[in-house]
C-alpha cells in the first residue's frame, strides 16, 4: 500500500480545528491589506482580521494564491518524507486560480511523487471537510483511486448557503456571479448566496433582515435533510457569533444528536465575505 499525503489550502479553514494527522499539509494563501501582506492564519488569524475590518470600514483587502515555487517546494518535502502519492485539494476553480496554478506546478515537478489534484468545488469549511474525508479514507487503508472516486462524488453531494451581512467586499473583489442584480440595493438587504454544483457563488434570495435570512437558510437545510439517512452539517462565520448560534440552535431543536463541524471563516476567504457572514451547508452521507 502506497503512503499517501494530503495537501490542503488554507482556504479550507482546517487550522481552526484540532487536527492531529501526520498525513496533512496546509499550503498558505496570502492576505493583502494596504501595503502589507500576511500569510493566512500564520500571520493573520480570523480574530485579528475581522477586528481590522471593523476598525476600518473602507478597507478592501484582497487575497493571493500560493506560487508555483511554493507548491513545488511542498511537493519536494512530501516526497522526501517517503510519500508516494499526494492528494491536493483546492478551493473551487470558479473562485480562485489556485487549481490552475497547481496543475502547472504538477507539470513542472521533476520528482517521482504521484500528484492527484482535486477541484473541491467548495469553499471555506465545506472545502476543508473534503480534506478530512480524504484523511479518514487514508487511515482506513483505501487506495488513491478509491479515495478520488469518493471525493469526486462527495464534492457535489451537498448544499451550501451563505447569509452575507454586507456585499461590499464580494462585489469589490468580483467573487459573486450575477452581482448586478444586488448592487443597487446591497446596503438594504441580507441576501442568501449559494455555491452551485460547479463551485460558483451565485445569488439565491434577496431578504431584508438578517434574522429572516438566517431563518430561511435553516428552513432550506431542514427541508433537504429530512429525507436523508445520514448527513453532516457544516457551520462557518466571519465574526457573527449570534447568527451562527441561532442557526445551530434551530437545527439542534430538530436533530439533537446530529454530526457537525464549525470553524471561523479564515481571513483569505474573509477578504470576500467581509464581516457578519454566516454559512451553513450539509453533505449527504447516506451512501457512505
DSSP for 25-63, written as a single string: EEEPPEEEETTEEEEBTTTB-HHHHHHHHHH-TT---EE
Q: What angle do CA 239, 240, 245 make, to 5 degrees?
A: 130
Last residue of some domain: 135, 154, 173?
Answer: 154
pTM comes to 0.94
- Evaluate whether residue 57 is within a structural domain: no
- Evaluate whether residue 242 is within a structural domain: yes
Domain total for the chain?
2
Q: pLDDT at position 145, please?
A: 97
Instruction: Kindly report the CATH number assigned to the domain that includes residue 266.
Output: 3.30.1180.10
- Whether residue 195 sits in one domain with residue 120: no
With a cut of 90, say whether residue 114 has pLDDT above it: yes
Instruction: Kindly report the CATH number assigned to the domain that includes residue 24.
Output: 3.40.50.10440
- Evaluate whether residue 236 is within a structural domain: yes
d(Cα 15, Cα 266) in Å, to the nearest integer? 9
**Looking up cell 433537504, which residue turns up?**
224
- Whether residue 109 sits in one domain with residue 223: no
With a cut of 80, say whether residue 264 has pLDDT above it: yes
- Whether residue 143 sits in one domain with residue 8: yes
| 133-159: burial string, b at 16+ Cβ within 10 Å, e else | bbbebbeeebebeebbebbeebbbbbb
Question: Which has the closest alpha carbon to 10: 282, 24, 22?
Answer: 24
- Whether residue 210 sits in one domain with residue 163: yes
d(Cα 104, Cα 77) in Å, to the nearest integer? 18
With a cut of 80, say whether residue 19 has pLDDT above it: yes
- Whether residue 94 sits in one domain with residue 181: no
Dihedral of alpha carbons 96, 98, 104, 107, sign:
negative
d(Cα 253, Cα 219) in Å, to the nearest integer? 13
Longest dimension (CA), the chain: 57
Q: pLDDT at position 184, please?
A: 42
With a cut of 70, say whether residue 87 has pLDDT above it: yes
- Evaluate whether residue 136 is within a structural domain: yes
- Evaluate whether residue 35 is within a structural domain: no
- Whether residue 131 sits in one domain with residue 269: no
- Evaluate whether residue 230 is within a structural domain: yes
- Evaluate whether residue 56 is within a structural domain: no
Last residue of some domain: 126, 154, 182?
Answer: 154
d(Cα 7, Cα 225) in Å, to the nearest integer? 30
- Whether residue 164 sits in one domain with residue 277: yes
d(Cα 177, Cα 190) in Å, to the nearest integer? 17
- Whether residue 163 sits in one domain with residue 150: no
- Evaluate whether residue 39 is within a structural domain: no
- Whether residue 150 sits in one domain with residue 9: yes
Domain assignment of residue 142, given as a range: 4-29+65-154
Q: Please, is 132 exposed, middle or buried when counting C-beta atoms within 10 Å of its C-beta (0-12, 13-18, 19+)?
A: buried
Residue pLDDT, tens place only, 56-67: 988 999 999 999
Rounded average pLDDT over 191-207: 91
- Whether residue 255 sits in one domain with residue 131: no
- Whether residue 129 sits in one domain with residue 271: no
Q: Please, is 1 exposed, middle or buried when counting C-beta atoms within 10 Å of its C-beta (0-12, 13-18, 19+)?
A: exposed
**280 in helix, strand or coil?**
strand
Q: pLDDT at position 110, please?
A: 96
Last residue of some domain: 139, 154, 169?
Answer: 154
- Whether residue 263 sits in one domain with residue 172: yes
Amino acid at each position: 500500500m502506497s503512503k499517501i499525503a494530503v495537501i490542503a489550502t488554507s482556504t479550507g479553514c482546517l487550522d481552526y480545528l484540532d487536527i492531529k494527522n501526520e498525513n496533512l499539509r496546509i499550503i498558505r494563501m496570502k492576505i493583502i491589506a494596504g501595503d502589507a501582506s500576511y500569510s493566512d492564519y500564520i500571520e493573520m488569524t480570523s480574530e485579528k482580521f475581522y477586528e481590522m475590518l471593523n476598525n476600518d470600514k473602507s478597507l478592501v483587502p484582497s487575497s493571493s494564491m500560493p506560487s508555483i515555487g511554493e507548491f513545488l517546494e511542498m511537493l519536494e518535502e512530501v516526497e522526501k518524507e517517503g510519500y508516494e502519492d499526494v492528494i491536493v485539494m483546492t478551493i473551487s476553480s470558479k473562485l480562485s486560480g489556485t487549481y490552475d496554478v497547481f496543475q502547472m506546478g504538477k507539470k513542472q515537478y521533476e520528482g517521482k511523487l504521484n500528484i492527484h489534484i482535486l477541484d473541491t468545488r467548495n469553499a471555506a469549511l465545506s472545502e476543508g471537510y473534503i480534506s478530512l474525508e480524504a484523511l479518514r479514507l487514508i487511515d482506513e487503508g483505501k487506495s488513491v483511486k478509491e479515495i478520488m472516486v469518493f471525493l469526486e462524488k462527495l464534492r457535489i453531494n451537498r448544499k451550501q448557503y451563505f447569509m452575507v451581512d454586507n456585499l461590499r467586499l464580494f462585489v469589490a473583489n468580483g467573487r459573486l456571479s450575477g452581482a448586478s442584480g444586488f448592487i443597487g440595493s446591497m446596503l438594504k438587504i441580507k441576501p442568501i448566496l449559494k455555491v452551485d454544483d460547479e463551485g460558483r457563488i451565485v445569488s439565491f434570495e434577496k431578504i431584508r433582515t438578517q434574522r429572516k435570512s438566517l431563518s430561511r437558510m435553516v428552513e432550506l437545510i431542514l427541508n433537504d435533510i429530512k429525507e436523508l439517512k445520514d448527513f453532516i452539517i457544516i457551520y462557518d462565520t466571519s465574526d457573527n457569533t449570534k447568527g451562527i448560534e441561532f442557526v445551530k440552535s434551530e437545527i439542534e431543536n430538530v436533530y439533537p444528536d446530529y454530526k457537525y463541524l464549525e470553524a471561523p471563516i479564515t481571513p483569505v476567504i474573509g477578504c470576500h465575505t467581509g464581516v457578519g457572514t454566516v454559512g451553513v451547508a450539509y453533505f449527504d452521507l447516506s451512501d457512505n
